[in-house]
Chain A
Amino acid sequence: MVQDTFLEFPFQFAKVESLGRLFYPIVAVKLKTIFGWQLFDFLVDTGADLTTIPLPIAYTLGIDIKKLPHSQTRGVGGILVSTWNTTVNIAIGKDEFKTHISITKGNSAPPLLGKKDVLEKRYSLTLDSKRKVTILSKNG
């Protein structure tokens, strides 16, 4: 990480069947858990309308889903996923802000950093495949 307005996060990678080495753009995001602020790796997903966390992480944030409006969200192939929508405070570097999030039932998806409040307005995203870093620049 260089400055608050220009943050760099090294790619992560894993071997994937028939594709070989595949890089993941990951950004470290702080979430306010019931144990205090903790750092979580989020997969950058420009296909996600909202920043998304699986239900077990929502439990660690002290979110009571029974109090939230339940909705259904479309995943890949049009599959409907049960979700609960709310807003939480997150921090990227030293930049703390409120963002809309979607909580997905189950544990099949990792935390996803989506468009609303993050990639659509607050930050510009660069995937530097040459240097193998994800760059978030805060918009002025």
Chain B
Amino acid sequence: MAKVFNLTSLSQKFGECYVARLKDTDKVIAHAKDADQLLAKIKGREEFKKNKLVISWIPKYGARYVFRISLPICQS
């Protein structure tokens, strides 16, 4: 089994948000409600400049989600 990443503790700690974590170690270095706020927070960091981070969405703790986005069907 591949090394899966557990979001549970992050969702308990931060709630629904975005986090920046190190690609290699999964260590979270910053979090924010929105992705643009997060990037503003981390843009000066060395890890960010060296492309060592991954931005991830964290679900709300315990919540169930269904996503479905569909475009209107064209009628000719």
Contact = CB atoms under 8 A, between A and B. Distances in A.
Interface of A: 8, 10-17, 19, 23-24, 26, 28, 33, 35-41, 43, 45, 47-50, 52, 54, 56-57, 59-60, 71-76, 81, 83, 102, 104, 107, 109-112, 114, 130-133
Contact of A39 (B33, B54, B62, B63): B54
A14 B59 contact: yes
Given A10-B3, A60-B35, 4 more contacts: A8-B2, A45-B67, A110-B59, A132-B4
B25 interface: no
Q: Would you call the interface of chain B mostly helix, strand, loop, or mixed?
A: loop
Interface of B: 1-8, 11, 23, 33-37, 39, 43, 48, 51, 53-57, 59, 61-64, 66-72
Contacts, number: 137
Given A38-B51, A38-B55, A56-B34, A81 B8 contact: no
B37 to A, nearest CB: 7
